[in-house]
């Protein structure tokens, strides 16, 4: 609260105060007590008088012999920075991922069908289909991994040009 007289011929000193102004003075008195400028008895007396104060003059009398406290305002928190929102593409599914996944599922289904058919005719063909299906699945996973690496290198090159 600004307890300086208002420049209107001294009439500001007789203006009535409210709970907010009383509370501000009580906070200031508590700060002076914490700094060792007031004793406990002085603080109690001034707090009681502050709560009964009716005009600006009543409040000024309570703090006039104390150094003026400079109000501390916290530094404003930095706001959001303008610019594009970064997108984490490591978890996003793109078209290439979906195509590779569909090819992998399709390959596993075909190899499973071959396993069923080959197993019914010849046990050796069953083993061959099992090995072939496993090789197809591993090959699909490897192709997907290599495709991801190629896309990451491309993205890195594009980002470094900016």
The answer to whether residue 10 scores a pLDDT higher than 60 is: no
How do residues 22-59 score in pLDDT, each as one tens digit? 999 999 999 999 889 999 899 899 999 999 999 999 98
Q: What is the spatial distance between Cα 156 and Cα 162, in angstroms, rounded to a whole number?
A: 10
Highest mean pLDDT (candidates 48-62, 89-103, 113-127): 48-62
**What backbone torsions phi and psi does residue 16 show, to the nearest 5 degrees?**
-75, 150
Which percentage of the chain shows pLDDT scores above 90? 11
The answer to whether residue 128 scores a pLDDT higher than 60 is: yes
């Amino acid at each position: 609260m600004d307890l300086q007289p208002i420049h209107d011929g001294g009439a500001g000193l007789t203006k009535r105060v409210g709970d907010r102004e009383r509370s501000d003075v009580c906070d200031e008195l508590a700060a002076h007590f914490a700094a060792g400028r007031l004793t406990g008895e002085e603080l109690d007396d001034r707090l009681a008088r502050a709560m009964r104060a009716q005009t600006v003059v009543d409040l000024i009398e309570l703090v006039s012999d104390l150094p003026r406290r400079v109000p501390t305002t916290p530094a404003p928190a930095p706001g959001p920075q303008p610019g594009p929102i970064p997108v984490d593409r490591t978890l996003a599914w793109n078209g290439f991922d979906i195509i590779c996944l569909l090819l992998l599922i399709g390959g596993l289904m075909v190899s499973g069908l071959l396993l069923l058919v080959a197993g019914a005719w010849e046990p050796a063909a069953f083993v061959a289909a099992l090995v072939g299906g496993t090789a197809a699945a591993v090959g699909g996973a490897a192709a997907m991994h290599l495709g991801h690496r190629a896309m990451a290198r491309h993205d890195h090159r594009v980002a470094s040009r900016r």
